[in-house]
Structure formats: C-alpha cells, structure tokens
Amino acid sequence: MAKKRKKGKKPSPDLKARGYEAAIATPQRRHVIGGDESQDVAAQQGLTRVRDWGRYLDSNHDLSSGILDELVKGIVGSGIQTIPKPLNPDGSINEELGMDIMTEFKRWTRAADVTGELSWHEAQRLICRAWFRDGEEFIQHVAGRDSAYPFLPDDVPYRIELLESEMVPIDLTTDDGWLQGIRQNAWRKPTAYGVHKTHPSDTMRGQFSGMVVSPQDVKVVDAAQMTHIKFLKRWPATRGVSLFADVISRLYDIKDLEESERIKNRILASWTAAVQRSPDIPGVDDADASGQRFLAMSGGTVIDTLAPGETIVGVGPEYPNADFPANIADQIRRVASGTGTRYSSIAKRYDGSYSAARQEMVETEGQYQIREDQFVAKIVRTVYERWLAAAVGVGMVQAPGYDLSPQSLEMLHNAEYRGPTTPWIDPLKEAQADALMVAEGFASIDQIRIKRGAPAEMIGTPAPSKPEPAPARPPAQLSLIEDEDEEDAA
C-alpha cells in the first residue's frame, strides 16, 4: 500500500524535474539566469553594449567587416531594382505608365536622402549594413512642399533621412506610453518616435551614459513618418539586437588568436641566438669593455671564433603551429553558421569540389532570400510607394484613371523587385541545366532571365531563334589519277 504524502509538504525539486533531465542543476550544468526576461528587458540591459561591440569589430576586425560585406552583397548587391508594373482594371500591365514612372524614379534615385549625397542604391547598402551591425535602423520620410525641406520646383517632394540606432534613445521610458524611445498604444503599436535633434555624442548629454532622457529632450515624430527595420529573434520586441550578439565572443577570440600569432611571427623575424657552452670547457675571453660578448651576424656570416665545446642555438617560440590554421578555420565555420553567411566567402577559401560549393550556395541562398524579402517589404517597397504617391500628387507622374481607393492604389503600386542574381559556380553546367528546365517546361525563359539578372527590357520578349547550323563540308576527295601521274613522273 502506497504511503500518503503529508499535507503541506512540497515535492522535491528532483521530482518536479523528473520529466526533463535538463531542468536539474548539476555541477556541469548550471541553471540559466535571466531566461524568463522579456526581450525588452534584455535589450535594455545589453543592447547598447552589443551594438558598440558590433561597430568596434566592423572598424577593427577584417573578418567581421567581411561578414557584413558578404551580407550586404548577398541581400542588396548593387541595389535592389524596382520595376514599376502598374495594372489596368482588366489586370494587364500599363506599359506606357510604367515607363513614365521608371523614368522619374531613376532620376530621383540619384539623390535620395535629405543631404543629397546618397543615391538610393547606396542608401540601401548603408541601411542593410546598419540593420545587421547595430540590429536596427530608422528612416524618417520627409515629404510635401509644405515641409521644412527646401525642395526644388522640379523635384518630387520626397526624401529620406537615415537615423542610426542611438538617434532614438533607448533610455526614454515613461509611464505614459514611452518605451525605449518609442511611444506605443495599448496594443504595442508605435504611435510616435522620440528622435534626438543632433547626434547624442555631439552634446554634453551624450558624453555620459545612464542619463535619463525625457520627451522634452527629443523631437517627437509621428509613426506615420518613420520606418523602423530591426533584427529580431524574439517577439514582441521594441528594439533590434545586433546580428553579432551570438558570435561576439568567438569573433574576439579569433581576433586575439590571430594577433598572438602575428606577434610570434614578428619575434621569429628578429631571430635571437645564444652561445651554448659545455661546463667542462672554459670560454674565450673576447668580451668588450662592458663585459658583454657579441657575435655580429648577417646573411652569409661564417663564425669561426667559437671556443671548443661552444655551439649556437636559436632562442624563440616553437614554429610553426601545425594546428593553428585548422583551428581558425573551424572557428570561422561556426561564425558563418551563426551569422548565416557562406564560409568560403568570408574565409576566402575556395578549395572545395563543385558539389560542395553548390551545396553551400543552396543552403545560404535560402537564408539570403528570407532576409532580402524582409528588406524589400520593410524598406524598398515602402520608399517606392511613398515616392510614387508624392510624384502623382504634384503631377510629376500622370496617372489618369487611378484614385485614392485601396484597390486603385494597389494596382498603381504594383511593381517587381529584383535583388542580386544567383551567382555562377560552373557556368557551363548551370546554363545547360537552365536550358533543360525551359525545354522540359519546369521554368519559363523569363524566369531564367530574371534569375540571371537580364535587363528589364528583355523580359517578355520572345527567345531569339537559334542560328541555322552551317552545312557540313564534304570530306576531301582524293584524286587517284593525279597520284598515279605523280608516280609516273617520278
């Protein structure tokens, strides 16, 4: 008969955790501290430090900078192209209006930001880099001739202003809806952003950390005029966290190991020698006035002044360390996994087979496409639609037949967004595979063209006809008569 447990006696921790061994603390496995915190609490405590580490590594570590370069190249490349394709009421594409929009949009992309110094594609690359390095980036939309910005008469009245993470103070939190620089309603939807009027490091307030920021210290920008792209792994979250958060320790260890190895090489470059003498044989008395004995050495030096029993031995660290390259390569592979990048691209090692390179590209291409889709949805599409609204509003783009209804705007805003093309590994094999896909009906010729980055005007045109093969030349006929005549003459 089972014994009844006395009332009021709590079950032991071991009984509570019996279902999961991982829940039991052991000397080898400690309990996680802070795992039940919200993302906002975790960000409040460490976002600024992690962001500063990301910027430090981007400025001082070649591998970290190369990771960001690879992400920007794979997601934005030379710039995500916007190809306007406004729709007619019957669903067909209004080609003429699309060309007019494209002409005006290309003119605007030459100077897209409020300073007039950044092109739209250059701004995309900077936004993408800050998105991963800092964990977030803010964009303020400046539109309308009634705004404070001095638009020229022939300009589309729309510009963007890039704002780095610290321009929206994370210390701005109050009881009336402000949380980490962003005012939210009861559903956590942003309604306004608090933006520093100047960079905080340019003022006395920015010289000291931990100072409380109030709404009076910032300009309040309506959420309708702001776009906030943030890198997330948990939701809900008010602010983003750097992509480097998972790998900062490993990146710094790699940096430290490489610096130590370089120091060792510098020591070896200044080779030092010592004279080793047998204790049973006295040395020669050839010291100078200071009591020191010197043996000058240079290339090709022959030393014939050693006493019997003396030898010269090198003094320095043992080299080479055969395990160092493999260890560093393994660490870089783990960094590539944590950041979602290609190991071969960030390590600049291309010594694998075609199958290995293709598999690596297939795995990372999906990750790049996910992030490209996020970037297009949050940044590229938003900017294009706001620009088009401003261009139509001032008559720079004539769009008869379209109104402000949601359905009409959806047809007007229809566009195609093209990011970086799929890279070639073996052009011959991949071109043959593309041709087979089209021939067997698994893909259209336009899908292959878009995949390979064909120009927009080429899309929709019929495939060029293959040239007729040249007729085969008949084999040379040998003249037996001429051969016989030559033999007779001989």
Q: Where are the domains of the chain?
A: 40-270+325-416, 272-315, 421-461
Q: Report the distance separating Cα 473 and Cα 489, nearest Å.
A: 32
Q: CA 212 → CA 44, 47, 172, 195, 209, distances in Å?
A: 13, 16, 7, 14, 9
The rounded radius of gyration (Å) of the Cα atoms in the chain is: 35
Q: Are 137 and 229 in contact (CB under 8 A)?
A: yes
Spatial neighbors of 423 by CB under 8 A, at least 6 apart, are 361
If phi > 0 it is left, if psi is from -120 to 50 it is alpha, else beta; for residue 142 that is beta
**Token output for 1:** 């008969």
Positive or negative: CA dihedral 208, 210, 215, 219? positive
Q: Are 120 and 112 in contact (CB under 8 A)?
A: yes
Q: Are 390 and 413 in contact (CB under 8 A)?
A: no
Task: Report the residue count for the chain.
Answer: 490
Instruction: Say if strands 219-222 and 190-195 run parallel, antiparallel, or are unpaired.
Output: antiparallel
User: How many angstroms from the chain centroid is the CA of residue 331?
Assistant: 19
End-to-end CA distance of the chain: 126
**pLDDT of res. 434:** 81
Spatial neighbors of 116 by CB under 8 A, at least 6 apart, are none
Closest by Cα among 96, 73, 182 to 419 = 73
**Token output for 211:** 């100072």
Q: CA 183 → CA 44, 138, 172, distances in Å?
A: 16, 15, 9
Instruction: Say if strands 158-163 and 178-179 run parallel, antiparallel, or are unpaired.
Output: unpaired
**pLDDT of res. 258:** 87
Strand order in the sheet with 182-184: 178-179, 182-184, 190-195, 219-222
Alpha-carbon dihedral 207, 48, 252, 266, rounded to 10 degrees: -20
Closest by Cα among 266, 308, 274 to 293 = 274
Closest by Cα among 267, 247, 243 to 255 = 247
How much is the pTM? Answer: 0.78
Q: Report the distance separating Cα 100 and Cα 62, nearest Å.
A: 44
**pLDDT of res. 296:** 66
Q: Report the distance separating Cα 64 and Cα 335, nearest Å.
A: 9
Q: Report the distance separating Cα 458 and Cα 127, nearest Å.
A: 30
Q: Report the distance separating Cα 102 and Cα 97, nearest Å.
A: 9
Q: Residue 390: in which H helix or E strand, if any?
A: helix 381-393
Q: Report the distance separating Cα 127 and Cα 315, nearest Å.
A: 52
Residue 239 — φ and ψ, nearest 5°? -125, 160
**pLDDT of res. 158:** 96
**Token output for 365:** 């291409």
Q: Are 218 and 231 in contact (CB under 8 A)?
A: no
Ranges of the chain with pLDDT below 50: 15, 17, 206-209, 478, 480-481, 484
**Token output for 267:** 């020591």
Q: Report the distance separating Cα 139 and Cα 118, nearest Å.
A: 14
Neighbours of 166 (CB within 10 A): 17
Long-range contacts of 447-454 (CB under 8 A, 24+ apart): 450/418, 451/421, 451/422, 452/421, 452/422, 453/418, 453/420, 453/421
Peptide bond into 153 cis (omega under 30): no
User: How many angstroms from the chain centroid is the CA of residue 84?
Assistant: 27
Q: What angle do CA 257, 258, 261 make, to 5 degrees?
A: 90
**pLDDT of res. 117:** 94
Spatial neighbors of 226 by CB under 8 A, at least 6 apart, are 138, 139, 140, 141, 190, 193
